Structure 1
């Protein structure tokens, strides 16, 4: 039987975009969410100096989502160091125990789990150079930390951070909004959003590494795609996470490496274009 959960959010300053503490009823995991600009106020919270798993969130110079995952015995002391050494971030998620029941080994275990899963899900570019330390815990403590990590995943998702979520790509789930493009031998797949006309280019899409000389945004496109892809032996980029682009034509151009009319070049499994389905009278 599926049971509901009660999640409590406390707006510490009354501002929904400010400092929030979020927790699940009857669980020990508490998440402190705050913008970088309010770090000094977070330092005044008693729980912010406890052992913590933390995630710094931001973007790179090309607008691609980035994350750095860490652990510490003193949350704010460690994050204060990151204020001057890691400039990319603008928001932090800090996970602590309400009852001070977790220690250094526990948060090291959580860090490794978080880095491994976030890397596998590939929703964000994970900036960690290593996977974290492999920690040996007792069997019962592993069970406790796995339950704690389940709560970490739920709370992150609850506030709109899908860092631990995998994207489903089956045609059944995507339905009629799944489209494809093959211009310049790319093999890309995307989901069309009928409300804002954006395209979510899907993880696994293969995009040419080169661009045509006449493509004016080639340098910007290459930097964005390279930041979230791995190269293949035959001269393509393979996307490692989904990437949302604001219009069909921009998405088509990023996929192909040339200027494109995305309303014509994106087609579904039946060969129908976006133009035929959404703009024809």
Structure 2
């Protein structure tokens, strides 16, 4: 049996779902869960301005996360309201006695960038921290212990570190697989309400003409960033300058985003994936 206890505190019962403090009673590590609208309230809470590692999450078209560190806790995150608009909620970790120092939060940021790169989350970080901080063996043991505790707390808040089932397992389970319309070479599968773009699917850089769309080039910028990130994270390998092949399955919250990624153009995902709309109507 491997049970654990978690304490929850709600600073404002009228906002219980959007602001909460949580902590393992045997640990000094304290977590703050908050939505954007609650950011100013978090700043007034005890310990929220200590040295911290934090996570900004989005669950819109696809699940994504930004991982950062701060020597002054929640205050640093306020700048992300101006710099980053993708996230809907954040989770901040500090210690009650402020025992995290600059080296601690630097290592924890590195650790979790590597950890999330192996999951289905899209990393919003520009710097993928491929080089580990210079930590001696004694400090590393302590910092890894901190990381394990934080991972448990994240999982307790519903953040999964498990990758989706590989394509071979999906096929063995005889799940429905939907092919992209011609001439695109890609396929998706449904899994637990998510849309899984399968390994060996070809993805495309956005078409040049999308730079001139009325959205001010937002589609082009967003799509190019996603295309590049998948290659840099080792989840896809380049075929040529505008095409790459996935080597891992990638999870999305809607069928349209993977359709756009595979075509380089705006798409109705329900129509792009052959048979998917028919399944929706049948289940509808």
Shorter-chain TM-score bucket reads 0.7 to 0.9
CA 1:122–1:35 in 2, change beyond 3 Å: closer, same or farther? same
- Which of 145, 148, 151 is equivalent to 1:150? 148
* TM-score, scaled relative to structure 2: 0.72
Pairwise mapping of residues 1-281 of structure 1 onto structure 2 (< 5 A)?
2-14=1-13, 15-58=15-58, 63-131=61-129, 134-162=132-160, 164-172=161-169, 175-192=173-190, 199-202=195-198, 205-208=201-204, 225-230=223-228, 232-234=238-240, 235-238=242-245, 241-245=250-254, 255=262, 265-266=274-275, 279=282
Give the corresponding residue for 2:235: none
SS of 1:137's equivalent?
coil
* TM-score, scaled relative to structure 1: 0.72
1:50-91: CA deviation from partner (whole Å, max 9, x where unpaired): 1110112247xx944443221122202322333333343332
Tell whether the 8 Å contact from 1:54 to 1:95 is kept in structure 2 after alignment: yes
Tell whether the 8 Å contact from 2:180 to 2:187 is kept in structure 1 after alignment: no
Unaligned runs of 5+ in 2: 210-216, 232-237
Unaligned runs of 5+ in 1: 214-218, 267-272
Give the length in aligned residue pairs.
261
Q: Distance in 2 between matches of 1:126 and 1:93?
A: 15
Give the aligned CA root-mean-square deviation in angstroms: 3.9
Deviation at 1:124, TM superposition (A): 1.9
Deviation at 1:3, TM superposition (A): 0.9
| Range with greater deviation from structure 2 (82-91 or 146-155) | 82-91
CA 1:87–1:260 in 2, change beyond 3 Å: closer, same or farther? closer
Q: Distance in 1 between matches of 2:108 and 2:180?
A: 41
CA 1:17–1:225 in 2, change beyond 3 Å: closer, same or farther? same
